[in-house]
Structure 1
Amino acid sequence: MSDNHLALTGATIGAGGAIMVGLADRHVPAERLPSLIEGLSSGDAGPAVAAVTTAPPADDLGDHRAWIDACYAGTDLGVIIGRLTAHPAPEARAAAEEIAGKSPTSLAVTLRSLRTAARLSGLRAALAQEYRLSAALLRLPDLAEGIRAQIIDKDRRPRWSPVPPNLVDDLFRRS
């Protein structure tokens, strides 16, 4: 469920978190990149990568895994926000506040996209779905409202225009 937390809040992670959620396989510190390049140019990739791989630095994501997994289970965004709000961990309540400020339409599409991508045939199909959904979201009013609130007026108070659930269904039928 850590991927749901990252997608819905926009939280950032370090190398350990990236490995934990499957975005990376190994940690190679920047200062070891020249050695990696040298090893790759002179032989097999496996031993070259193994020679420069280190344990990733500690990451907060792993420390919060228990409440993240408990709160983000399921497909109902309202239930997820309710769990986050009710959880005793201050980080869970902060996540609920962060999510509450985002476009309801974008949140619904994001959560559903995560669920459907897991059932797609592979990366190519997931990226194609992501592209089609992103293009469709560009045509909805929340993009302009988010830009207005953050960049133009800088009031940081977007007035979202949530779309009906059947429109979200339509976005996925087309993608």
Structure 2
Amino acid sequence: MTESQEFDQVLFDRRGPGGRLGVITLNRPKQLNALTYAMIRAIARQLDDWRDDDTLEQIVLVGAGDRGLCAGGDIAEIRSDIVEGDGGITADFLADEYRLDASTSDYPKPYIAIMDGLTFGGGVGLSGHSTRRIVTERSQISMPETAIGFTPDIGGTWLLSRMPGQTGLHTALTSARLSAGDAIATGWADHFVPRDDLDALLTALETEPADGAIARFAQEPPVAPILAERAWIDDAYSAATASEIVARLDELGETHPGAKDAAVKIRRASPTAIAATLELVRRNREASELRAAIDLEYRVGMRLVFAHDFLEGVRALVVDKDKSPKWQPATLAEVDQERIRLLFARQDAFEIDWRQS
């Protein structure tokens, strides 16, 4: 049996005998399924409905098109609200998105995320906190927020802070893309299934319990290239400040090409976002659980979305696409550490009320 309920940007299907499998399809393939606020609200409502539906046994998340699951949140939508409005929609957008993402971590029914192709930012939020995360040979997973003057969010710093050694800081500061092997080895995914087997897996999920079906199709994951780079990564990113990290990368770059490339990427990103991300990932190493990490992300993020670098970064990379953002300040040496400290100061307007979830 297949029942379909459509919403412009996301599709909800019931498949299998009695509609036992719920399928969520992110449906903006031309935009690489970037999440709008309307999509987030629709998914949250559907998950609430399915939570109490005894005929539905498990859920799978997929992306339309052949490029990937999701490129992240629709940051142009957020920028427009701040430039043309008062930012109130943005505050609700982020809070509701974070509540939704956190809910997938303890959803009472199996929630299976197919992270095929590109899975960035908000796409990680919808997929990365479940316990059944599937990657393929095409998977590329990234938190590229520093490139637009923002910090990793949607619980991303919870995942980043728990990667081996200093690989999480490297991934966060350089917007590195994790391969399937990287993702499984460092805690971002659970199972490797070749892309050619995904259709068969989805068919199996219509009639079989999630864990058994996944086990039938899962294969040994590829190697994890990031682990082969750990020696220089751990050396460089153990430095105290972002400026010192880049200085070490410059030195290590004489013998390690990856270190040289990392230094270039960090210098290209927003200096303020780099400094804030360094502090955020380090602080969230001590977070007691996912929601606590998200609380801190929201507090910092709500300050950064109103700041110059986020608006400028989105303008340069998404709106005008000249790829030449003018950061303020322009270098890591000019970043005011007191300003970074104030990003983390508690303020009621920048806290999530989890009771609304």
Bin the TM-score by the shorter chain.
0.7 to 0.9
**CA-atom RMSD in angstroms:** 2.3
Per-residue deviation at 1:26? 1.6
Q: Map residues 1-175 of structure 1 onto 2, 5 A cutoff.
A: 1-87=166-252, 88-150=255-317, 151-152=319-320, 154=322, 156=324, 158-161=326-329, 163-174=335-346
Q: Distance in 2 between matches of 1:32 and 1:106?
A: 39
Q: Distance in 1 between matches of 2:218 and 2:294?
A: 28
SS at match of 2:345: helix
Go from structure 1 to structure 2 and tell me whether the alpha carbon gap of 1:140 and 1:133 turns closer, same or farther (over 3 Å shift): same
Per-residue deviation at 1:149? 4.3
Q: Which has the higher strand share?
A: 2
Per-residue deviation at 1:83? 1.1
1:13-49 C-alpha deviation (Å, 9 max, x unpaired)? 2111111221112212222223333444434433322
Q: Is the 8 A contact 1:85 1:93 kept in 2?
A: yes
Per-residue deviation at 1:125? 1.7
Higher relative contact order (CA 8 A, sep 6+): 1
Per-residue deviation at 1:74? 4.1
Q: Distance in 2 between matches of 1:119 and 1:78?
A: 23
The two structures have a TM-score, normalised by structure 1, of 0.86
Q: Is the 8 A contact 1:8 1:111 kept in 2?
A: yes
1:104-142 C-alpha deviation (Å, 9 max, x unpaired)? 110111111111112112112212322232221011111
Aligned length: 175
Q: What letter is aligned with 2:251? A: A
> Structure 1: any 5+ residue segments left out of the alignment?
none
> Structure 2: any 5+ residue segments left out of the alignment?
1-165, 352-357
Q: Distance in 1 between matches of 2:201 and 2:294?
A: 29
Q: Is the 8 A contact 2:169 2:278 kept in 1?
A: yes
Q: Distance in 2 between matches of 1:139 and 1:10?
A: 22
Aligned residue in 1 for 2:67? none
Q: Which has the higher helix share?
A: 1
User: Identity over the aligned pairs, expressed in percent?
Assistant: 35
Go from structure 1 to structure 2 and tell me whether the alpha carbon gap of 1:56 and 1:106 turns closer, same or farther (over 3 Å shift): same
Q: Distance in 2 between matches of 1:132 and 1:138?
A: 11
SS at match of 1:22: coil
Q: Distance in 2 between matches of 1:157 and 1:171?
A: 22
Q: Distance in 2 between matches of 1:38 and 1:153?
A: 41
The two structures have a TM-score, normalised by structure 2, of 0.45
Go from structure 1 to structure 2 and tell me whether the alpha carbon gap of 1:35 and 1:156 turns closer, same or farther (over 3 Å shift): same
Per-residue deviation at 1:167? 2.0
Q: Is the 8 A contact 1:137 1:143 kept in 2?
A: yes
Q: Distance in 1 between matches of 2:199 and 2:344?
A: 44
Q: Distance in 1 between matches of 2:291 and 2:204?
A: 30
Q: Is the 8 A contact 1:109 1:168 kept in 2?
A: yes
Q: Distance in 2 between matches of 1:165 and 1:40?
A: 51
1:56-105 C-alpha deviation (Å, 9 max, x unpaired)? 23343233222112211244212211111100201101111110121111
Stretch deviating more after TM superposition (147-156 or 104-113): 147-156
